[in-house]
Amino acid sequence: MSYSPEVNEPVLEKKKSEKVRKFNKAKLVPYLFITPAVLMVVSFLFYPIGMVFYYSFQNYDISAPYYNSFAGLDNFVNIFTSDKLFFPSLLNSLKWVVTEVGLQLVFGLILALLLNQTFKFRGIIRAVAFIPWAISGVLASVIWSLMYNEHMGVLNDILMRFGIIDSPQAFLASTSTAFGAVVIAELWRGIPFFAITLLAGLQSIPQELYEAARVDGASRWKSFLFVTLPQLKNTIILTTLLRVVWEFNNVDLIFNLTGGGPAHSTTTLTMYIAELAVHGSNFGYGSALTVISFGILLVFAALYLKLSRYEKE
Other residues' Cβ atoms within 10 Å of the Cβ of residue 189: 23
Give pLDDT, residue 123: 84
**Residue range 66-121, pLDDT digits in tens:** 777 888 899 999 999 999 999 999 999 999 999 999 999 999 999 999 998 888 88
* Strands 58-59 vs 69-70: parallel, antiparallel or unpaired: antiparallel
Percentage of residues in the chain with pLDDT exceeding 70? 90
CA dihedral 221, 227, 228, 231 (to 10 degrees): 160
Interval 203-258: pLDDT, tens: 988 888 888 888 888 888 888 888 889 899 989 999 999 999 999 998 889 988 99
pLDDT of 13 > 70? The answer is: no
- Ranges of each domain in the chain: 5-55, 83-308
Q: Tell me the average pLDDT of the chain.
A: 86
| CATH number among 1.10.1370.30, 1.10.10.60, 3.40.980.10, 1.10.3720.10, domain 83-308 | 1.10.3720.10
20 — pLDDT class (breaks 50, 70, 90): low
pLDDT digits (tens, 9 = 90+) for 273-310: 988 877 778 888 889 999 999 999 999 998 988 887 76
- Give the residue from 108, 247, 142, 102 showing the smallest Cα distance to 186: 247
Residue 313 has pLDDT above 60, yes or no: no
The C-alpha angle with vertex 172 and arms to 168 and 176, in degrees rounded to 5, equals: 90
pLDDT of residue 291: 93
d(C-alpha 186, C-alpha 133), whole Å:
10
Position 311 scores a pLDDT of: 59
| Other beta carbons less than 10 A from residue 127's beta carbon | 11
Distance in angstroms (rounded) separating the CA atoms of residues 229 and 40: 39
With contact defined as beta carbons under 8 Å apart, do 57 and 70 qualify? yes
Q: How confident is the model at residue 197 (pLDDT cuts 50, 70, 90)?
A: very high
Assign residue 22 a region: left if phi > 0, alpha if psi is -120 to 50, beta otherwise? alpha
Q: Quick one: pLDDT at residue 19?
A: 60
Position 226: which residue type?
A: F
Query: Is it the case that residue 47 has pLDDT exceeding 80?
Result: yes
**In DSSP terms, which residues pair with 70 in a beta bridge?**
58
